Chains A and B, each alone.
Chain A
Amino acid sequence: KAGVTQTPRYLIKTRGQQVTLSCSPISGHRSVSWYQQTPGQGLQFLFEYFSETQRNKGNFPGRFSGRQFSNSRSEMNVSTLELGDSALYLCASSLQGRAWEQYFGPGTRLTVT
């Protein structure tokens, strides 16, 4: 069974631009969570989607948004990029009822210049 895939793997953007990252969960997994990882703040929860609905949200500004499609694929969008948004963005998927078993994708490394 294929793992969680994320595209693109690397991205360089300029301050003020916006970016969209994509995540395809493991087949059959309907829950997708997004995390930001930075050296200073560690891994921080962004939001979680299940059946196209956002069920939980972390403490990030409204510039960070996401959505989930009917096939469970998810995208996250960051608008008006800031230098501090440079990070590794990870998504994780899990089966309904097995929240303890989250599988992480390889991540998208975003660099904002």
Chain B
Amino acid sequence: QKEVEQNSGPLSVPEGAIASLNCTYSDRGSQSFFWYRQYSGKSPELIMFIYSNGDKEDGRFTAQLNKASQYVSLLIRDSQPSDSATYLCAVMEGPGGYNKLIFGAGTRLAVHP
């Protein structure tokens, strides 16, 4: 059973701090990794994807991938109360996965003023 593990949280950080969200995955054949944000009562929205080892930055967000350790992380710099949401890590199943995303349970982030 291919799995994606996340700490469910809540992760509480003060406004302006760096929030660090972590995810591990079991399938070594996975090539593509995603971070989705889901506000309460809303559907998930894609915020970052990464498939090469190292860091990928997009504004206040940085995704980090370490395939040897099967570890993906998301850093949110200068956290804002509007970042309070559940962050879902997702992994696309290996070759032939055909858009099949395997999601972690999500980490709830709470940014307090």
Contact = CB atoms under 8 A, between A and B. Distances in A.
Given A90-B43, A90-B44, A106-B43, A42 B104 contact: yes
Contact of B99 (A42, A43, A48, A104): A48
A58 B98 contact: no
A43 B43 contact: no
Contacts, number: 60
A56 B97 contact: yes
Nearest to B97: A56
Contacts of B90: 43
Interface residues of A, number: 24
22 contacts: A33-B99, A35-B101, A43-B44, A43-B101, A43-B103, A44-B103, A55-B99, A90-B43, A90-B44, A92-B99, A100-B34, A100-B51, A101-B46, A102-B101, A103-B46, A104-B43, A104-B44, A104-B45, A105-B43, A106-B42, A106-B43, A107-B43
Interface of B: 32, 34, 42-46, 49, 51, 88, 90, 92-93, 96-106
Interface of A: 31, 33, 35, 42-45, 48, 50, 55-56, 58, 90, 92, 94, 99-107
